[in-house]
Amino acid sequence: IRSSVLCRILSELLSTQITLFFLSLCLVLYIYIKKTTLKICEIFFVFKDII
């Protein structure tokens, strides 16, 4: 009985770890894309001013 409980706890922990990992990965990707988009916009506006 104890081993099954331990297994369940372990699987729960693992699933939360994976969920957290994916969430943080998504957040990093989101921030990265946002920053790149901002940079592209800045470059575009600079070129617009030149032209």
Phi and psi, residue 5, nearest 5°: -65, -45
Q: Which stretches does DSSP call E strand in 1-51?
A: none
Average pLDDT over residues 30-43: 90
Give the distance from CA 33 to its chain's centroid. Answer: 11
- Could you state, in order of their start, the residue ranges of all structural domains in the chain? 1-51
Question: Which amino acid makes up residue 21?
Answer: F
What local confidence, expressed as pLDDT, does residue 1 receive? 66
What local confidence, expressed as pLDDT, does residue 51 receive? 64
Average pLDDT over residues 3-30: 91
What local confidence, expressed as pLDDT, does residue 40 receive? 86
- Average pLDDT value over all residues in the chain: 88
Query: Global pTM?
Result: 0.56
Q: Output the CA–CA distances (angstroms, integers) from residue 30 to 25, 38, 43, 46, 47, in the order listed.
A: 8, 12, 20, 24, 26
